[in-house]
Amino acid sequence: MNKIKISRAVWILSIVSLLTDVASEMLYPVMPIYLKSIGFSALLIGILEGFAEATAGFSKGYFGNLSDRLNKRVLFVRAGYFLSAISKPMLAAFTFPFWVFLSRGFDRFGKGIRTSARDSILSSESTPETKARVFGLHRAMDTAGAMIGPVAALVFLYFYPDSFVPLFLIAFVPGMLGVVLTYFIKDKVIEGPVSVSKKGFFSFLLYWKSSTKEYRKLVIGLLFFTLINSSDIFLLLLIKYIGYSNTEVIMVYIFYNLVYALVSYPVGILADRIGLKNVFTIGLIMFAIVYGGMALTPSLPVVFILFSVYGIYAASTESISKAWISNISQRQDVATAIGFYTSFGSLFTMLASVLAGFLWSTFNPSVTFAVSAVGAVVCVLYFRIIRFNKV
């Protein structure tokens, strides 16, 4: 693979992610509105999102390590996308909190099964010099789906206001189309012993001891940031809290995903050229600006400006962090390395979401966002002070 060629497997995985995100993001921007309508408080929404992320989290670590030990990727990718697809119609069945938690858990468990194996395939289909752009392309396609999904939801709700249940059923279709496409991907055999060969659900935790100092420094910084970065659902709740309509909430989310999708691949190319750490820390600065601005309860035009910045932040951090991890890991350990980080990342996201819900309910939304903005500044200082060899 040369520097500019994108492989067939990367394109297929990117299209699968696009279709899956069409399904998921049809529901994501209306979820806080729907949950409010069936009696969920801000704190309970925070607990739900935290539970969902925790479910995804620990399964990412286990199945990432299992993928490395079995030297298989596609099986986990296919199973994970399938579980996420069938979780959509489950939400249409009942509105009991237990069932909602179960449905969201199914969706996130599917994400946990597939994520590390999928990212390992992306890593194996790139070189250190092209890694950020490959992950950036995948993120761009994924986010394009996250833009198309809310547009579809907006059109549907325009003609059928507050008809949330049929929307959950419609979302099942693109999800299953994505599952079908996974049958066109083949596994590559990667030689070499894995660092963690023991079985057991928490065996992936042993990777921390065998990992490099470079990996540990990176993950510490990433996890600190995750701890102050709650679910995006709180951003959507804040827009609604300020007084804007359901349609405006969805339009802002669509605009954010449009910016995210458009800049992800160019940002990946930029990171390959000027360094992953440089682009990542620029993203953190943008995060601080957005959360600090949202704490001031801005007008709608300012909200759109902040969300454009938020789209650039997202493109500069999520795919870049995975590319960075895969660059400093052994090829046979990539799924375990990413799985370890994403597992704890999901756990910390759970804590961040619960904390955000607590601050929101106890004080006010501005406190929630101000705390995150300050935390992001601290994280920027960490990444600028700590020295990394591979950036």
Closest CA to 220 of 389, 341, 61: 341
Measured CA angle at 369 (ends 95, 252), to 5 deg: 65
**Which pLDDT score, from 0 to 100, does residue 357 have?**
84
Helix ranges, 38-162 (H): 42-70, 74-90, 97-124, 131-159
CA–CA gap between residue 239 and residue 115 (Å, rounded): 30
Helix ranges, 228-245 (H): 233-242
E runs forming strands in the chain: none
**CB contact set of 362 (below 8 Å; sequence gap of 6+):** none
**CB contact set of 235 (below 8 Å; sequence gap of 6+):** 294, 310
CA–CA gap between residue 139 and residue 10 (Å, rounded): 11
Q: Is residue 198 part of a domain?
A: no
**Which pLDDT score, from 0 to 100, does residue 2 have?**
45
Which residue range is the domain that position 311 belongs to?
A: 8-182+207-385
- Helix then strand count (H, E) for the chain reads 17, 0
In total, how many domains does the chain have? 1
Q: Is the pLDDT of residue 128 over 90?
A: no
Q: Is residue 55 part of a domain?
A: yes
pLDDT tens-digit series, residues 230-272: 878 788 888 888 888 877 887 888 888 889 999 999 999 999 9
Alpha carbons within 13 angstroms on the beta-carbon side of residue 338 total: 32
Q: Is residue 187 part of a domain?
A: no
**CB contact set of 122 (below 8 Å; sequence gap of 6+):** 10, 13, 134, 135, 138, 326
Q: Is residue 197 part of a domain?
A: no
Measured CA angle at 314 (ends 144, 54), to 5 deg: 95
pLDDT tens-digit series, residues 191-206: 666 766 667 777 788 8
State in Å, rounded, how far the first CA of the chain is from the last one.
Answer: 22
**Which pLDDT score, from 0 to 100, does residue 373 have?**
93
Q: Is residue 143 part of a domain?
A: yes
How many other CB atoms sit within 10 Å of the CB of residue 389?
9
Do residues 332 and 191 touch, judged by C-beta distance below 8 A?
A: yes
Tell me the average pLDDT across 157-186: 88
Q: Is residue 193 part of a domain?
A: no
**Which pLDDT score, from 0 to 100, does residue 11 have?**
94
Do residues 342 and 61 touch, judged by C-beta distance below 8 A?
A: yes
Which is more confident, 377 or 231? 377
Mean per-residue pLDDT over the chain, rounded: 86
Tell me the average pLDDT across 34-50: 75
**Which pLDDT score, from 0 to 100, does residue 276 have?**
92
Q: Which amino acid is at 247?
A: T
Find the length of the chain: 391
Q: Is the pLDDT of residue 160 over 50?
A: yes
Q: Is residue 173 part of a domain?
A: yes
Binned at pLDDT 50, 70 and 90, residue 292 comes out as very high
Which is more confident, 226 or 90? 226
Q: Is residue 49 part of a domain?
A: yes
Q: Is the pLDDT of residue 3 over 60?
A: no
CA–CA gap between residue 235 and residue 202 (Å, rounded): 33
Alpha carbons within 13 angstroms on the beta-carbon side of residue 294 total: 32
pLDDT tens-digit series, residues 26-35: 887 677 777 7
Binned at pLDDT 50, 70 and 90, residue 313 comes out as very high
**Which pLDDT score, from 0 to 100, does residue 79 have?**
94
Look at the alpha carbons of 11, 15, 18, 24 in this order and tell me if their dihedral is positive or negative. negative
Q: Is the pLDDT of residue 167 over 50?
A: yes
Q: Is the pLDDT of residue 326 over 80?
A: yes
Do residues 224 and 379 touch, judged by C-beta distance below 8 A?
A: yes
Do residues 239 and 248 touch, judged by C-beta distance below 8 A?
A: yes
How many other CB atoms sit within 10 Å of the CB of residue 300?
14
Binned at pLDDT 50, 70 and 90, residue 1 comes out as very low
**CATH code at position 112:** 1.20.1250.20
**Which pLDDT score, from 0 to 100, does residue 390 have?**
63
